[in-house]
A and B are shown apart, each in its own frame.
Chain A
Amino acid sequence: NAGVMQNPRHLVRRRGQEARLRCSPMKGHSHVYWYRQLPEEGLKFMVYLQKENIIDESGMPKERFSAEFPKEGPSILRIQQVVRGDSAAYFCASSRGMDGEAFFGQGTRLTVV
């Protein structure tokens, strides 16, 4: 049973470009969470999704950031017009139920140059 898969592992974008981060949850998991880890900080919750629904996006920046989890395919975290401050590690986690144990992927390290 493969774990949570994130790709790409490393992503470099120039300022103003778009970044798309993908997350495939573990088999049987329909709950996906995105966390961001800024340098020298802990992980911060961004958004919680179930298939085709955003349940809680209270941790998402108000502009430029969006997330989706379509019926088919991976969850996508999209950052438009990236800025240097978006450079961080973005982790995806999945769980079977809302209060089930969350399993984390290896993260996508975004560098904005």
Chain B
Amino acid sequence: DGGITQSPKYLFRKEGQNVTLSCEQNLNHDAMYWYRQDPGQGLRLIYYSQIVNDFQKGDIAEGYSVSREKKESFPLTVTSAQKNPTAFYLCASSLPGSYEQYFGPGTRLTVT
């Protein structure tokens, strides 16, 4: 059963702590993406990766970091440098050269 999984579904952290969000896919997609969505807002691109061991900053990369050591996995770390980390985080993947992105179920992060 192919798809994209994100864990956990809900995550609570104290301000000043780093937190890592998991994203795994078994669709054999080369490209993976991280987006952030705030209430009433569209999706904003944080980072993307077209191939293993390579990734690029999106529009709002400050305060975030990623790694792409395996084709199936693209974890996102929200660091303490991110000013407003509370949001809905969405991971997506696509075939190389394709814009058709498919999303995981998302992780809702709350930082207090």
Partners in one complex: no
Seen from chain A, the residues whose Cβ lies within 8 Å of a Cβ on chain B are: none
